[in-house]
Amino acid sequence: MTAAESIKERAAQVLDAVARAAQRSGRRAEEVRLVAAGKSQPVESVGEALEAGVTAFGENYVQEAERKILAYPRAEWHLIGKLQRNKVKKAVSLFAWIQTVDSLELLSEISRRAGEAGRVVPVLVEVNLEGEGTKAGVSPEELPSLVDAAPGLPGISLRGLMAVPPWTTDPEESRPYFIRLREMLAGCVSRGGAGAGMAELSMGMSNDYEAAIEEGATMVRVGTALFGSRAR
């Protein structure tokens, strides 16, 4: 992909790559949700991506996302950045999905605010697979207790796991992390309770989303490959 390519052209290429990777994993393209990661991209880029057939969008910051969501409310909006507890009320009112639950306290606050809003919010638990200090997420050891606590919380639907593996330019270096997250999801399902309904794996970005799909991703968060370099 070149800088001169339009979002429409990039979207066609990414959607085709998603479909081919899904086929390699024995699934249909419709079983993998492309979430366009629009951090720092202008509102107009969302419109171009929508016209190109992209329907789901991910944003890192609640405040930045609000104007885009108001401009394009028919899109499906995912929060894919760290959520501060003081922004939960606004996030619950804006986003269809919250992908970055990283503590029982945050999950409880989402539950409370969702109850006040009279809705049930689909959420993913973010796992910090390598214990990287610069990244959010629960540790693999903390995950079971969080999942076990979820059935007592109204207003949320615990749907799966999300992770951001260590950055690499080689998709094969990401693959072991994708396999590990898939195995962790299977472990959650086998525990029963809230885990029994978990089926989503949000993993893979522009550099490695095809490998993620091959290893079971149901959502991929693709920014640069779709929009080009981030706007400044």
Residues 50-100: tens digit of each pLDDT: 999 999 999 999 999 999 999 999 999 999 999 999 999 999 999 999 999
List CB contacts of 99: < 8 A, sequence separation 6 or more.
Answer: 58, 78, 79, 80, 123, 124, 126, 162, 202, 219
pLDDT attached to residue 152: 85
Mean pLDDT of 95-114: 97
The answer to whether residue 228 sits within a structural domain is no
pLDDT at 136: 84
pLDDT confidence of residue 46:
95
Please check whether residue 147 lies inside any domain of the structure: yes
| Surface-to-core class of residue 175, CB atoms within 10 Å of its CB (0-12 exposed, 13-18 middle, 19+ buried) | middle
**For 131-152, how does the pLDDT look when each residue is reduced to its tens digit (9 = 90+)?**
767 778 999 999 999 999 998 8
Please determine, for residue 2, whether its predicted confidence score (pLDDT) is greater than 60.
no
For residue 231, being part of any structural domain is answered with no
| 230: in domain | no
Angle between helix 62-71 and helix 43-51 axes, rounded to 10 deg: 50
pLDDT at 230: 60
Range of the domain at 209: 7-223
Confirm whether 12 is domain-assigned: yes
Q: How confident is the model at residue 5, as a pLDDT?
A: 85
Q: What is the pTM of this model?
A: 0.95
Render pLDDT for 176-224 as a digit per residue (tens, 0 to 9).
999 999 999 999 999 888 899 999 999 999 999 999 999 999 999 999 9
Does some domain include residue 2?
no
The predicted structure's pLDDT at residue 11: 97
Helices 7-24 and 43-51, packing angle to 10 deg: 60
pLDDT at residue 228 greater than cutoff 60: yes
Position 232 scores a pLDDT of 42
3 pLDDT more than 90: no
Looking at the structure of the chain, the number of domains it has is: 1
Two tokens, residue 57 = 């969008």
Residue type, 28: R
User: What pLDDT was estimated at residue 131?
Assistant: 75
- With respect to residue 203, please indicate whether it lies within any of the assigned structural domains: yes
- More confident position, 1 or 61: 61
| Residues paired with residue 127 on neighbouring β-strands, in sequence order | 138
Listed ranges 19-28, 127-136, 150-159; the one with the highest mean pLDDT: 19-28
Here the tokens at position 85 are: 């507890």
CA proximity to 7, closest of 218, 222, 232: 222
Cα separation of 83 and 35, whole Å?
A: 18
Distance (Å, rounded) from C-alpha 15 to C-alpha 83? 28
The CATH number covering residue 82 comes to 3.20.20.10
